[in-house]
Amino acid sequence: MSFPKCFLSYSWDSDDHKDWVRNLATVLQKNGVKVFLDQWQTYPGIDLPLFMEKSVRESDYVLLICTPRFAKKANSNTGGVGYEKIIVTGEIFEGTKSPKKFIPILRGGKPEDSLPSYLKSKLYIDFRIDNSFKISLEKLLRHLHEAPEYTPPPVGPPPSFKNEKQLPSTKKQSDGIGKSLFSKLYCSRCGTNPGGNKTTCLGGYSSHNFVPLNKPVYCSRCGLKPGDPKTICLGGYSAHNFVPESGAVYCSRCGTTPDDPKTTCSGGYSAHNYVKLA
CA-nearest of 185, 211, 204 to 196 is: 185
Choice between 64 and 225, residue whose per-residue pLDDT is larger: 64
pLDDT value of position 196: 63
CATH class of 5-144: alpha beta
Domain extents in the chain: 5-144, 183-278
Greatest mean pLDDT range, 6-20, 225-239, 251-265: 6-20
The pairs formed by 71-78 with CB atoms below 8 angstroms and a separation of 24 or more are 71/109, 71/113, 71/114, 71/115, 71/116, 73/11, 74/116, 74/117, 74/118, 74/119, 75/116, 75/117
152 vs 51: CA distance, rounded Å: 40
Nearest residue to 118 (alpha-carbon basis) of 161, 86, 150, 156: 86
**211 in helix, strand or coil?**
strand
Residue 237 has pLDDT above 50, yes or no: yes
pLDDT classification of 234: cutoffs 50, 70, 90: low
**What's the CA gap between 26 and 12, in Å, rounded?**
18
Indicate if the pLDDT at residue 63 is higher than 80. yes
pLDDT tens for 75-118 read 999 999 999 999 999 988 887 678 899 999 999 999 999 999 99
